[in-house]
Structure 1
Amino acid sequence: MLFNRTRAQEYMRRCGVDVLVATSPVNISYFSDYRCWIDPLFKAYMMTPGAPSDPEPTAAYAIFPLEGEPALVTSPTFAVNASDLWVRDVHIFGDHGLDDSLPLGDLSSAEQRIFDVLHRPQNNATATDALLSVLAARGLADAQIGIEMEGLSPRAKASIEAGLPKAQIRDCSNLIRLVRMVKTEDELSRLIRSAEISETAAMEALALARPGQPIADVVQHYRQQIAKDGADFDHFAFGVRGLGLATEPNYILTDEDILYVDFGCIYEGAFSDSGTTLTMREPSATLIDRHRALRECVEAGVEEMTPGAKASAAQAAMWKTLNAHGITASSPHGHGLGLEVRDYPIIVADNGQRIHDDCVDIPSDLPLEVNMVLNLEAMISMPGVGSLHIEKSFLVTPNGSRPLIPQDRTRPVQPG
């Protein structure tokens, strides 16, 4: 499973929380493995004219109690997406909308389970009604309840507060982010596969680049290749003449181009994010030296990525290396990677801020832990000349860090 159950329980005990409730699509997926393509897109007004633009995903709540089994609240129309989840306690709301006038056909055991869920008596008019029913049935109506407030609409928040007058309701949005930092074997395997798919597709696509060709052709090849391996497109960004980063302009490659490229896909919910430099000509000695500085910059950051080290230590080492090469116009940094393109920790200089909600309150300069997946990246943009870029993914191990997958960034990619 994606969910780091043991880590969640440790945080819950430490923070005095009896139950966690996820409300955003990404965290519902994390808690339960439930995924539906429309969840990040759908809003209340799209089915109810005049309603606000509150998010309205097909699965509204994932519930994880400290004691007992987890539960999922989902729309009856999409409940079949929960047929093969590890979370077995599925609840719906509203009318199932099925035509039961014909004899029931043969169903598999998983399909029969969803049929039974859909026909189980319930009086839940809304998803929040179903949530309140689950909490009441578990004896948690007067508990310490951590709810991901950032994914909750104002209407749902008001309904929950009214329906749980004896509970202590606490925002746990950042607690969940801290749980997600350390990957389970399942999430790690997905991240590795996502990175492998993306790297292979990107190198094949970049090898086809030629002067006079729209870079859109390179992007399209990348899209096609990741799709063949079962991944969805996330991004393919590129530098334009050292002026900044683009994803949309129909830029035509020239024989003078040397440019930043950054790419990523999504495999079974897990993001990849990586980058390199594409050049249409043999780079000058000056540009090769600057590219070497970027490579050494990333290597210096990796040396600092050990369990217990602060995130800022890696960024400081990266900056020190670039400065030693006389480079001051850059922004070397890093970030976690997971079910979003950026997870905690964020590898930047210590900003003195705190990561806090109603459950946690800690410095934002987080210590690194084993089984974090981290990206390090650095770029240089030179107006009218081009841009250079290196980004790689790493896994924190008990003895330091190692590459998540092989990603050769020794030199810029030069097709042909």
Structure 2
Amino acid sequence: MTNTNTANRERALQIMKREGLQALVATTPENISYVIGSQLRTTNWTMQIYAVLPQQPLAPTRLILPTNRLGVIAQMGLPDAELYLYSDFFLEGSPEGKASTPDIDLFFDLLGRVQTYAGPIEALQAALRDLDISQGPLGVDEMRIAPALYASLIEELPNGAIKPAYALFREVRQVKTEEEIRRLRRVAELNERIELEMIRKIAENVHEEELAEHYRLEMVKAGAVPAMVAVGAGPRSALPLIERYFHRVQPGEQVRFDLCCHLDGYWADTGRTTVLGEPTDWQKRHFSAIYSGWERALERVRPGAKASDIFQAAVQTVQKEGIPHYRRQHVGHAIGLELYDDIVLAPGDHRTLEEGMVFCVEVPYYELGAGGFQIEDTVVVTKDGYEFLTHMERKLYRQ
């Protein structure tokens, strides 16, 4: 398990002080990954794993997990966190002289020296006692803790000692650390590499399924997890989400890609449009309009800019430049441990951008019966503007 720190502890400390909290307790996989710096997958929605991020800057994080996950920890490497186990899980030590491996040795060692508690709340309480904050107040990510356990925690602590913290975690995560930006850059580059391979495979009678399968297979080979694979050709390019593929590309048709994956817990989301052959005037005009809106949105990306102002600028530009009826619900979204990582470039989101935030900026267009267009890139907000994390040519591709 990589011990590289991903959490923005300085920002977390500021928010905890503002809210009067002694610690933040993560329960969702994304927030747990954020606290411990690496992924720890669960096998079902009821599995209780918690990570405690204390307000004290030098205090190590605490990781609460069932004993049956200890073997995974041993395989991935110890996280930069103190371990607290709960529940029984029985394994026998092998006789001396039997073959072994380093992960088995570490697993056996951890089983012998890490204390085990009756349940997740008891293990969490022990971690809080060791941090000398057993009475709170605490911010608890309410999204993945079992309701009955959440209720018992509220009941056992003083009135008002527990505050829902899923939104607070997302607020902390808005400004990315250098390690997070490195991971986002890496997964963006992977996504683009495979997207370019898909573009090069476009030819007459190529099946949408062939393109989608190439994406999925190459992602798995690279150790990533493919997610949304929107590959639509011809009139199907106007479908925003595509789960079934049955069309073969014909000359003159456009193919719209909107591709999402994640690697080491961090997401990538990019999109392009390709025409097989010479684009029609309609295709050129509509792509030019959305490209102008996309450029206008990026011109507004800088610290202090309002998400809603970026939205208005992009939509108005597309309307002015050739699609007067253009409508959108958003023109981009923050990205990180979640595909939509809190802030959205939308008319109702009036929050301001800060240096270190990362956004996908997109201005797609879908016209049923005609076709759709996509241009989407990922940028990190810098002190005076933005920097691209994606590098593909930003054009209407032709094959």
Deviates more, 1:391-400 or 1:239-248: 239-248
Instruction: Give the superposed CA RMSD.
Output: 2.2
2:124 aligns to what?
Answer: 131
Q: 1:93 to 1:329 in 2, by over 3 A?
A: same
* 1:149 partner SS: coil
Is the Cα contact below 8 Å between 2:238 and 2:366 reproduced in 1?
A: yes
Q: 1:251 aligns with which of 247, 250, 254?
A: 247
Q: Which amino acid aligns with 1:205?
A: M
How big is the shift at 1:255? 2.4
How big is the shift at 1:121? 6.4
Is the Cα contact below 8 Å between 1:183 and 1:371 reproduced in 2?
A: yes
Structure 2: 5+ residue stretches without partners: none
Give runs of aligned pairs for residues 15-414 of structure 1, distance below 5 A: 15-37=19-41, 39=42, 41-43=43-45, 55-56=46-47, 60-67=49-56, 68-83=59-74, 84-100=77-93, 102-103=95-96, 114-120=107-113, 122=115, 124-165=117-158, 168-239=161-232, 241=235, 243-245=238-240, 246-327=242-323, 328-331=325-328, 333-349=331-347, 351=348, 364-411=349-396, 413-414=397-398
How big is the shift at 1:296? 1.4
Q: Provide the rounded CA distance (Å) in 2 between the counterparts of 1:10 and 1:294.
A: 39
Q: Which amino acid aligns with 1:317?
A: A
Is the Cα contact below 8 Å between 1:96 and 1:119 reproduced in 2?
A: no
1:51 aligns to what?
Answer: none
Q: Which amino acid aligns with 1:336?
A: A
**Identity value in percent:** 27
Q: Which amino acid aligns with 2:37?
A: D
Deviation string, structure 1 residues 301-322 (Cα, Å, up to 9, x no partner) = 1111111111112111101211
Q: Which amino acid aligns with 1:263?
A: L
Deviation string, structure 1 residues 336-394 (Cα, Å, up to 9, x no partner) = 01011111211111x2xxxxxxxxxxxx4211111111111112222322111111111
Is the Cα contact below 8 Å between 2:285 and 2:322 reproduced in 1?
A: no
Q: 1:34 to 1:97 in 2, by over 3 A?
A: farther
Q: Provide the rounded CA distance (Å) in 1 between the counterparts of 2:392 and 2:7.
A: 28
1:50 aligns to what?
Answer: none
Q: Provide the rounded CA distance (Å) in 1 between the counterparts of 2:18 and 2:308.
A: 26
How big is the shift at 1:182? 0.9
Q: Which amino acid aligns with 1:61?
A: Y
Q: Which amino acid aligns with 1:69?
A: P
Deviates more, 1:315-324 or 1:85-94: 85-94
How big is the shift at 1:107? 6.8
Q: Provide the rounded CA distance (Å) in 2 between the counterparts of 1:112 and 1:345.
A: 44
How big is the shift at 1:118? 2.0
Instruction: Name the TM-score, length of structure 1 as normaliser.
Output: 0.86
1:357 aligns to what?
Answer: none
Q: Provide the rounded CA distance (Å) in 1 between the counterparts of 2:364 and 2:97.
A: 61
* 2:111 partner SS: helix
Is the Cα contact below 8 Å between 1:380 and 1:389 reproduced in 2?
A: yes
Is the Cα contact below 8 Å between 1:215 and 1:251 reproduced in 2?
A: yes
How big is the shift at 1:81? 3.4
Q: Provide the rounded CA distance (Å) in 2 between the counterparts of 1:193 and 1:124.
A: 39
1:46 aligns to what?
Answer: none
Deviates more, 1:141-150 or 1:115-124: 115-124
Is the Cα contact below 8 Å between 1:213 and 1:252 reproduced in 2?
A: yes
Instruction: Name the TM-score, length of structure 2 as normaliser.
Output: 0.90
How big is the shift at 1:149? 0.8
* 1:99 partner SS: coil
Q: Which amino acid aligns with 1:340?
A: E
Q: Which amino acid aligns with 1:162?
A: E
Q: 1:101 to 1:247 in 2, by over 3 A?
A: closer
Structure 1: 5+ residue stretches without partners: 44-54, 352-363
Q: Provide the rounded CA distance (Å) in 2 between the counterparts of 1:160 and 1:195.
A: 40
Deviation string, structure 1 residues 31-75 (Cα, Å, up to 9, x no partner) = 1134244x2x514xxxxxxxxxxx325xx1000111222110112
* 2:336 partner SS: coil
